[in-house]
Amino acid sequence: MSAALTLQSLPLFPLAAVLFPGGVMPLRIFEVRYLDMIGRCRKAGAPFGVVSLTQGGEVRLPGVKEAFSRVGTLATITEFETPRPGLMLVRASGEQRFRITSSDQLKHGLWVADVERVDSDQAVPVPDDLKVTSAALEKVITSLQERAPAPDQAPVMPPWHLDDCGWVANRWCELLPLPIALKQRLMELENPLVRLELVSDVLTRTGITQ
């Protein structure tokens, strides 16, 4: 990786979730370390990194060590609200994946890391034998939009790329109740076609598609 593709001291948000590129993640923030982080990122227009927890919980507890995956996703703040002091409601958008090269926990508990960006998925058209997964996703997205309290509150936001393997696979990974470890492995896959093939297998086994 070249120096142009690295980020230093990126603040991290370890969560019991996986953020995929192109995804949307609502966050309810009340811990001091993250209130400060989100406030700084919003003021600077800077991203933070979402990484999935492999040990510990989202809320810091004495004596419990946090550990997290080494590959995460850059997140940018798209909506921000402070309904009361000590509480932030945020919607974040998933951008590019990254790989942690080194990390450190600051005194007040916030993790920061030096990271290198992971190449974005190549655009790969959905092949004919997998178009059923794309068609099923379109139906689900339409239904979710109709039930959303407002158009901008739907869990999948436009533009839709229903002809792109990576985009379709990522949206299914977000919507399906898959184990966090499996979502993480799928997110890390470099080949978007393979990711969609694996997702298609899950859809077939669960009877969502045939």
pLDDT of res. 1? 36
> Mean pLDDT over residues 122-150, rounded?
93
4 confidence band (pLDDT: 50, 70, 90): very low
- The CATH T-level fold of domain 3-117 is 2.30.130
- The structural architecture, per CATH, of the domain 128-205 is Orthogonal Bundle (1.10)
Domain segments of the chain as ranges: 3-117, 128-205
Q: Which residues neighbour 64 within 8 Å (Cβ) at sequence distance 6 or greater?
A: 56, 57
Asked if pLDDT for residue 2 goes beyond 50, the answer is no
Task: List the one residue out of 104, 122, 118, 27 whose CA is nearest residue 72.
Answer: 118
DSSP state of 63: T
Asked if pLDDT for residue 3 goes beyond 70, the answer is no
Asked if pLDDT for residue 84 goes beyond 60, the answer is yes
5 confidence band (pLDDT: 50, 70, 90): low
> Mean pLDDT over residues 13-21, rounded?
97
8 Å CB contact between 113 and 12: yes
Asked if pLDDT for residue 158 goes beyond 90, the answer is no
